Amino acid sequence: MLRSAVALLASAALHGCSWYVYEASNRPIASNIAGRCFALRENAILAEHFSYFTAYMLNLSGANDCIPQDVTPTTKDEARYKLSGLKYPKCIWVPVANVAKETKFKVTTVTEQPHGRSGRCWKVEVTLITGESAGIKSGIPACHLDFTESELWVRMKSGHEYVEPLELSDRVTRPCTE
């Protein structure tokens, strides 16, 4: 009986260790981006998560089937963003605002998240500091598993290996001064 209890406890402890989320903003791996200001090289779309909590995602205009080229007053009423009976909408990020090229943002938080055998992924959160959406905290595409159809804003060495220390793509952003 004791042996079974110890085995169960050890299994639970090991499982818990494999699903950590690790704050990395102050680690050397995030030193090139954390706390730094960047400006968009292209127009982007700010989208809100379709759920009971408020979360935002910033992505390039037309980055995938769920991100339009432009947000209009009727965008949120499109079928791809609406519930259908008990089915979730096709697109769970609902576009809410256009974000102009040259809008500045600051990288506020970098966290490391495990994805089992697929490896780790980074979650990068930013705060918009200029434009109509200034002050909004948002995520950016930083993980190939979360954004399979979108270009990642974090530079990659290969399909599953990040450049270290982390860097934002020169195609999407450029460093700026506040």
The predicted-structure confidence for 54-67, as pLDDT tens digits, reads as follows 899 999 999 999 99
Task: Note the Cα 12 to chain centre separation in Å.
Answer: 29
What is the average pLDDT score of the chain?
Answer: 86
Write down the pLDDT at residue 118: 64
Residue located via tokens 């959406």? 133
Write down the pLDDT at residue 56: 95
The whole-model pTM stands at 0.84
Residue 169 to residue 115: CA distance in whole angstroms: 22
The pLDDT of residue 172 is above 80: yes
The pLDDT of residue 96 is above 90: yes
Section 133-150 average pLDDT: 90
Write out pLDDT tens, residues 111-139: 998 876 667 789 999 999 999 999 999 99
Confidence of residue 178 (pLDDT cuts 50, 70, 90): low
Of the candidates 72, 58, 175, the residue with the CA atom closest to the CA atom of residue 128? 58
Check: CB of residue 66 under 8 Å from CB of residue 96. no
What percentage of the chain carries pLDDT values higher than 70?
86
Structure tokens at 26: 């102050």
Check: CB of residue 30 under 8 Å from CB of residue 110. yes
The pLDDT of residue 2 is above 60: no
Write down the pLDDT at residue 9: 42
Half-sphere exposure of residue 80: CA atoms within 13 angstroms, side-chain side: 11
Section 157-164 average pLDDT: 86
